[in-house]
Amino acid sequence: MMKNNLPETDYELEIPAQAIQTDEMTLNMGPQHPSTHGVLRVILKTDGEIVTKATPFIGYLHRCFEKHAENVSWVQVIPYTDRMDYLASMNMNHGYAIALERMMGLQVNERAEHIRVIVAELNRIASHLVALGTYGLDIGAFTPFLYTFRERERILDLFELISGARLLYNFIWVGGVAYDAPQGWREKVLEFCDYFEPKIKEYNDILTYNKIFIERTANVGVIPADLAINYALSGPTLRASGVKYDLRRDDPYSIYDRFDFKVCIGQGQVGTVGDSWDRYIVRVDEMVESNKIIRQAAQAMPEGDALETVPKNVKVPEGEYYMRTETPRGELGYFIVSDGKKNPVRVKVRSPAFVNLSVLPAIAPGTMVADLVAIVGSLDIVLGEIDR
């Protein structure tokens, strides 16, 4: 055998620290990525696994809602509102209808108001169920997705009974609703309330207090209350930071001031107030409160004709108006400009998901790439509403 003739010496290679140079890596997350909840593109600057900068890029789902609204009649805008937040179409309809009703000085009858609240809160639960199930998928838990969609199907069955559709409803119209509740629908709603209430414990057992889930979400993406307020965040994203603000209670619309429910906030149960876990648990708690509102509204719903106040011709007087409502993602605002003619001059939308996404560059630096997935999922964005 040949022997190595090199001298047997021990030595250490000393390289001055200033001579070591590393470059940041630029990564594209999306726009076709399972964790971005739609066609969102996030450009990441990373130092190894650590994110140093995250810049969201939008516009991949743009459908010209606001321009469409200028070229159709007042009532023809409603189907387009469905397609903004397609996971909460009833809530999209609701805000626009109320804005026009207030501009017109139109009073909606009691039965229609109760139906509106029921479908809006059912849609809030359905939206939060999607948020919970897909968030579990982001983290790596598949089973909760099946559980949440099981309950969502029951809500979609109720929507199909009353509107004929399961995703895009065109149901809440100016002056009331498109169709009255069919016979037995109210009883089916109350049956759903009884069925859904114990399901929350299942979600908590399988996902909420799962050790791995907590480790992936607690103390991740913390948004302090002052930062949330400065960025004008709203909805569960704001309330998770400990800010007790809900338009249904603090600036009531429709008949929400008649119902007993509490505003859910983040309390830092397993981590820091305002972290990703708090944003998740606020949505779980809100489903419980929405269930209470639905039960109260269904029990109090009067008999009568829900269609009696729907006008045949919608004539909006000249002027400007801003109306805001509480959707599953936060404060949805419609700024409407009318010149008294058959088409709107302007329908500007304040998108809660767009505003909530704007905080991402502030909270992403210093986290790991895997944590960024948890943060984006906790914001519960819908790109149809962001891009409009």
pLDDT reported for residue 20 = 60
158 in Cβ contact with 192 (< 8 Å): yes
For residues 125 and 304, give the distance between their C-alpha atoms in angstroms, rounded to a whole number. 27
Residue 31: asked if its preceding bond is cis (omega within 30°), the reply is: yes
| Selected residue with higher pLDDT from 3 and 115 | 115
List, for residues 219-229, the tens digit of each pLDDT value: 999 999 999 99
pLDDT reported for residue 188 = 97
Residue 196 — left, alpha, or beta (φ > 0 → left; ψ -120 to 50 → alpha)? alpha
pLDDT reported for residue 17 = 57
Please, which pLDDT band fits residue 34 given cuts at 50, 70 and 90?
A: confident
Question: What is the reported pTM?
Answer: 0.92
Q: Which CATH number fits domain 34-387: 1.10.1740.110, 1.10.150.530, 3.40.50.720, 1.10.645.10?
A: 1.10.645.10
List, for residues 112-155, the tens digit of each pLDDT value: 999 999 999 999 999 999 999 999 999 989 999 999 999 999 99
94 in Cβ contact with 116 (< 8 Å): yes
115 in Cβ contact with 181 (< 8 Å): yes
159 in Cβ contact with 127 (< 8 Å): no
CA-angle at 76, arms to 333 and 174, nearest 5°? 65
Residue ranges covered by each domain of the chain: 34-387
88 in Cβ contact with 124 (< 8 Å): yes
241 in Cβ contact with 228 (< 8 Å): yes
- With a pLDDT cut of 90, the percent of the chain lying above it is 85
What is the rounded average pLDDT of the residues 192-197?
96
What is the rounded average pLDDT of the residues 179-194?
96
| Spatial CA neighbour of 172 closest among 310, 322, 315 | 310
Q: Is the pLDDT of residue 4 over 70?
A: no
Element (H, E) at 46: strand 41-47
Please, which pLDDT band fits residue 23 given cuts at 50, 70 and 90?
A: confident
- What the block records as the tokens of 60 is 């991949």
Please, which pLDDT band fits residue 1 given cuts at 50, 70 and 90?
A: very low
List, for residues 227-247, the tens digit of each pLDDT value: 999 999 999 999 999 999 999
User: Which residue type sits at 336?
Assistant: I
68 in Cβ contact with 91 (< 8 Å): no
List, for residues 249-293, the tens digit of each pLDDT value: 999 999 999 999 999 999 999 989 999 999 999 999 999 999 999
State phi, psi for 74 to the nearest 5 degrees: -55, -45
| Spatial CA neighbour of 127 closest among 268, 311, 332, 296 | 332
User: Which residue type sits at 327?
Assistant: T
Q: Do β-strands 319-327 and 176-177 pair in parallel, antiparallel, or remain unpaired?
A: unpaired
User: Which residue type sits at 282?
Assistant: V
What is the rounded average pLDDT of the residues 355-374?
94
